[in-house]
Amino acid sequence: MKSYGLLLLATSASAFQTTTVSAVRSAPLQMAAASEAAADAAITPNAAIKVAANGMSLLKPIFAAEASLQAAVLGGLAKVDPDEVKAAIEFEKKANGVLIYTYGLSPFSSEALSILDKSGYPYKNIELGAEWFLLGGEESQTRVELGKAGDFGTSLPKIFVGGECIGGCAELVNLVEEGKLDETMKKAKVSKKGAASNKPNFLSMF
């Protein structure tokens, strides 16, 4: 009877330990998921800007034609090398986890920058000019090259995460509202400003 009792006690202790370790392992994951959802929920995009940004997509063919003409004229006068412009963009994409190209006077650019600021993720902002009609030759060619990154047109802002274009203001707002901004950043291995470096988790050894 003593042996049987000890066996039951040992089995119960083992089951309790397994359950406890499983709970300890899953708790950080649940807390992290809740934290990400709360972080996205804390960002409130401007509703009016969102509607206007979505409406801009209807004008993509017109803007694309205008951008090409502007780049051909101004780029030709300034003797801009399209390959050099493309290489410069590729360099910035590789050098920065989050990269955004903007216009200084654009409400869509301002909204995107505001969202990124609130998100807590570091980013590099390259302002091409105050607005599209004030661009020089190199900036006009840059605009055309940026328009080739995905099906997002030539409008700015243009946002890259982990080297991949995620679109502009409208697409960034959608990521926030769907609670997928942190997920997108995590996949690109982009950490928030001031985030602690990854340290060994000794609990994983159990």
Q: Which residues have a Cβ under 8 Å from the Cβ of 60 and sit 6 or more positions away? A: 153, 154, 155
Give the end-to-end CA distance of the chain in Å, rounded to a whole number: 32
- Name the packing angle between helices 169-177 and 47-56 (round to 10°): 130
pLDDT of 56 reads: 84
CA distance 200 to 140: 48
Q: What is the pLDDT, as a whole number, of residue 31?
A: 52
What would the two tokens of residue 98 be?
């989050």
Q: Render pLDDT for 39-92 as a digit per residue (tens, 0 to 9).
A: 566 899 998 998 999 888 888 999 999 999 999 999 999 999 999 999 999 999
CA 82 distance to own-chain centroid: 26
Closest CA to 103 of 88, 125, 124, 84: 125
DSSP character string of the chain: -HHHHHHHHHHHHHHHHHHHHHHHHHHHHHHHHHHHHHHHHT----HHHHHHHHHHGGGHHHHHHHHHHHHHHHHHHTT--HHHHHHHHHHHHHH-SEEEEEETT-HHHHHHHHHHHHHT---EEEEEESSGGG--HHHHHHHHHHTTSSSS-S-S-EEEETTEEEESHHHHHHHHHTT-HHHHHHHTTPPPTTPPPP---GGGG-
- pLDDT (tens digit per residue) in 154-206: 999 999 999 999 999 999 999 999 999 999 999 999 999 987 655 555 444 44
Write the burial class of residue 155 (CB in 10 Å: 0-12 exposed, 13-18 middle, 19+ buried). buried
Under the banding of pLDDT at 50, 70 and 90, the label for residue 9 is very low
Q: What's the pTM?
A: 0.78
